[in-house]
């Protein structure tokens, strides 16, 4: 983390000095190139080994991105990075804190839930700003579902990150507002966006589309659209693609499918697999794997409330 920020700052100063005396617009050029530096260095955050350090520095990174984006509002790279950062911070830390304080400190649990809702909405908004460059999509947002789905076909592979992180934020916000009929009514559009990502690249971000649908089909009863067979199929595809090394996939499988189907044996098997698999088995997602271990331990310790 420290090395990434040091390099980023040095490169930014070099960029500024190079363009300060040029005939171009140095501020715009420096900002655009800095966006590429952030994009190239962002994976360093996901390789962090210390969860507490990542949580404390994550917000600083987000605010730095927002500062650059505010001064360069149309840069797609900043918009997508912010959508991704808000999604990862909310899911990784705020939702973990919701679990951690559950039954221990209701005030802190509720505070983290409120922040998660707000952060997911911010992430969705930044992603939408990137997607709304497509006029057909922007118009279809307020139209019927079929029109919306047709508009999504105009997005190619270059829009996979924007589609994925916007849908992830949107779906996660809806999941935290399941008692709101208005929120639930929005889910088909978030689902349609993730379906488009699945069509373009089913294994984007560690098979993220499969995990999205695995959780969606696996966490709901059949009368509300749940489908255990589809859920299992999506989770198994996700696990196979990365040789079961992306440990959050195992936790999500246990948390949704296993609990909904009251399969305690599978629940315990998946979570114990998380605890026995080295966190560095997937170095580029070391932070996610460390967070998966924390969740796996919590779910096992509180399994009596789920079965």
Residues in the chain: 307
Model pLDDT for residues 8-63, shown as the tens digit of each residue: 545 554 444 444 444 456 677 778 888 888 888 778 889 999 999 999 999 999 99
pTM of the model: 0.90
Tell me the average pLDDT across 117-129. 98
Task: Return d(Cα 25, Cα 111) in angstroms, integer.
Answer: 43
**132 falls in which pLDDT band (50, 70, 90)?**
very high
Backbone dihedral region for residue 103 (phi beyond 0: left; psi -120 to 50: alpha; all else: beta): left
Confidence (pLDDT) at 32: 83
Does the pLDDT of residue 5 top 60, yes or no?
no
Encoded tokens for 303? 């399994």
In order of start, what are the domains of the chain with their CATH numbers?
202-307 (1.25.40.920)
Residue 298's contacts (CB-CB under 8 Å, 6 or more residues apart) are: 99, 100
Q: Is the per-residue pLDDT at 179 higher than 50? A: yes
C-beta of residue 260 within 8 angstroms of C-beta of residue 228: yes
* Inter-residue contact 29 to 15 (CB < 8 Å): yes
Q: What is the pLDDT of residue 12?
A: 52
- Cβ neighbours of 302 (radius 10 Å): 12
| pLDDT value for 10 | 53
The residue assigned the tokens 């994925």 is 164
């Amino acid at each position: 983390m420290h090395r990434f920020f040091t390099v980023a700052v040095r490169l930014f100063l070099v960029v500024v000095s190079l363009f300060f005396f040029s005939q171009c617009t140095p501020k715009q050029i420096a900002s655009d190139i800095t966006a590429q530096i952030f994009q190239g260095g962002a994976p360093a955050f996901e390789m962090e080994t210390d969860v507490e350090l990542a949580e404390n520095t994550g917000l600083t990174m987000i605010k730095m991105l927002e500062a650059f984006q505010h001064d360069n509002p149309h840069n797609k790279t900043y918009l997508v990075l912010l959508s991704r950062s808000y999604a990862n911070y909310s899911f990784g830390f705020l939702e973990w804190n919701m679990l951690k304080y559950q039954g221990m400190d209701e005030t802190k649990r509720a505070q983290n839930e409120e922040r998660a809702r707000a952060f997911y909405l911010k992430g969705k908004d930044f992603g939408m700003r990137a997607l709304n460059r497509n006029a057909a999509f922007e118009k279809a947002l307020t139209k019927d579902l079929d029109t919306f789905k047709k508009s999504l076909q105009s997005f190619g592979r270059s829009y996979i990150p924007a589609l994925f992180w916007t849908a992830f934020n949107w779906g996660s916000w809806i999941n935290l507002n399941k008692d709101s009929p208005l929120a639930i009514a929005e889910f088909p559009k978030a689902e349609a966006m993730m379906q488009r990502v699945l069509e373009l690249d089913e294994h984007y971000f560690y098979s993220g589309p499969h995990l999205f649908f695995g959780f969606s089909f696996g966490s709901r009863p059949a009368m509300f659209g749940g489908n255990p067979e589809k859920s299992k199929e999506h989770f198994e595809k996700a696990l196979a693609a990365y040789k079961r090394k992306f440990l959050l996939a195992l936790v999500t499988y246990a948390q949704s499918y296993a609990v909904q189907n009251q399969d305690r044996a599978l629940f315990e098997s998946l979570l114990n697999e998380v605890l026995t698999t080295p966190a560095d088995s997937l170095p580029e997602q070391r932070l996610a794997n460390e967070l998966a271990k924390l969740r796996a331990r919590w779910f096992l310790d509180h399994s009596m409330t789920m079965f």
